[in-house]
Amino acid sequence: MIAALPMYDLPELADATAAWWQGIARHGGFAAALERPADLQAHWRSPNLLFSQTCGYPLTHGLAGQVRYLATPCYAAEGCHGPFYRSAILVREDAALASFTDAEGAKLAINSEDSQSGCNVLRVMAAETSAARPFFGAVVRTGGHLASMAAVQEGQADLAAIDAVTLALAARARPAAVAGLRRLAWSPAAPALPYITRPGLPTAVRQALVRAIQAACADPRLAAVRQELLIDGVAVLNPEAYQVIPGMHRRAHALGMTELG
Is 235 found in the same domain as 115? no
**Please, which residues bridge with residue 32 across strands?**
none
pTM for the model: 0.96
Position 164 in a domain = yes
Range of the domain at 118: 95-180+247-254
Position 89 in a domain = no
Is 59 found in the same domain as 110? no
- Model pLDDT, residue 210: 98
Is 77 found in the same domain as 56? yes
Q: What is the pLDDT of residues 46-80, one digit of tens each?
A: 999 999 999 999 999 999 999 999 999 999 999 99
For the chain, how many structural domains are there in total?
A: 2
CA 105 to CA 29: how far, in whole Å?
53
* pLDDT band, very low/low/confident/very high, at 36 (cuts 50, 70, 90): very high
Cis previous bond, 246, omega within 30: no
Which DSSP helix (H) or strand (E) runs through 251?
helix 244-254
Position 87 in a domain = no
Is 200 found in the same domain as 169? no
CA distances from 31 to 2, 6, 22, 144, 189 (A): 9, 19, 9, 31, 35
Position 86 in a domain = no
CA angle 244, 124, 118 (to 5 degrees): 85
Is 22 found in the same domain as 44? yes
Residue percentage of the chain with pLDDT more than 90: 99
- Model pLDDT, residue 155: 98
CA 107 to CA 148: how far, in whole Å?
12
Is 202 found in the same domain as 143? no
Position 260 in a domain = no
Is 195 found in the same domain as 120? no
Q: Which CATH number do you get for residue 149?
A: 3.40.190
* pLDDT band, very low/low/confident/very high, at 26 (cuts 50, 70, 90): very high
Q: What is the pLDDT of residues 171-230, one digit of tens each?
A: 999 999 999 999 999 999 999 999 999 999 999 999 999 999 999 999 999 999 999 999
Instruction: Round the average pLDDT of the chain to a whole number and report it.
Output: 97
Position 211 in a domain = yes
- Model pLDDT, residue 12: 97
- Model pLDDT, residue 44: 97
CA 195 to CA 55: how far, in whole Å?
9
Is 213 found in the same domain as 174? no
Q: Which CATH number do you get for residue 12?
A: 3.40.190.10
Is 176 found in the same domain as 103? yes
Position 186 in a domain = no
- Model pLDDT, residue 40: 96
CA distance from start to end of the chain: 42
Among candidate residues 101, 111, 130, the one with its CA nearest the CA of residue 256 = 130
Give the burial string for 157-191 (b: 16+ CB within 10 Å, else e): bbbbbbbbbbbbbbeeebeebbeebeebbbbebbb
Q: What is the pLDDT of residues 135-156, one digit of tens each?
A: 999 999 999 999 999 999 999 9
* pLDDT band, very low/low/confident/very high, at 9 (cuts 50, 70, 90): very high
